[in-house]
Amino acid sequence: MHAEQFAEEFPVVTADSNALEAARTMAEHRLPGIVVTDASGQPYAVLPASQVVRFIVPTYVQDDPSLAGVIDESWADKAAERLANKSVRDVLPEHLEDIPFANADDTIIEVAALMARLRSPLIAVVKDGKLLGMITASRLLSAAVKR
């Protein structure tokens, strides 16, 4: 099977989109991440939900998780506000070396290898420069363990 056969429609955002709205889209649709396109609609990056979580949790709590126990719920309720005035570009991982996309005719094992190498929960599928859809890690696993 080829990537084109596994690609699903998926919400996309641009690098200039509001980060809080992107996070809401991920939460509403229970997405592991969201594809970020450039101004021409080409896949630019994948913003993993885990990266958004890292952005809203203060660095000092990430460095010392025991501090999380002393933060009250009112702070937790306001954590997402850190995203309100940020763009998606502001919360993207700093080290974007490879753009996670596969060609429509790539095999599923090629997609799996790319996903594993880039540690990305999503892989964009493109054909003739056009975004066809996304392949999620869970969809790929479902195909791999199907009997």
Tens digits of per-residue pLDDT, 45-58?
888 888 888 888 77
What pLDDT does residue 45 have?
A: 82
The distance of Cα 15 from the centroid of its chain, to the nearest Å, equals 12
Domains of the chain, earliest start first:
3-145 (3.10.580.10)
Closest listed residue to residue 20, CA positions, set 68, 90, 74 = 90
Per-residue confidence band for 147, with pLDDT thresholds at 50, 70 and 90: low
Cα separation, 83 vs 129, in Å, equals 31
pTM value? 0.74
Q: Which residues contact 134 (CB under 8 A, 6 or more apart)?
A: 7, 8, 9, 10, 35, 122, 123, 124, 125
Q: Which residues contact 22 (CB under 8 A, 6 or more apart)?
A: 13, 34, 47, 52, 88
Closest listed residue to residue 120, CA positions, set 103, 135, 107, 142 = 135
Statement: residue 130 has pLDDT above 80:
yes
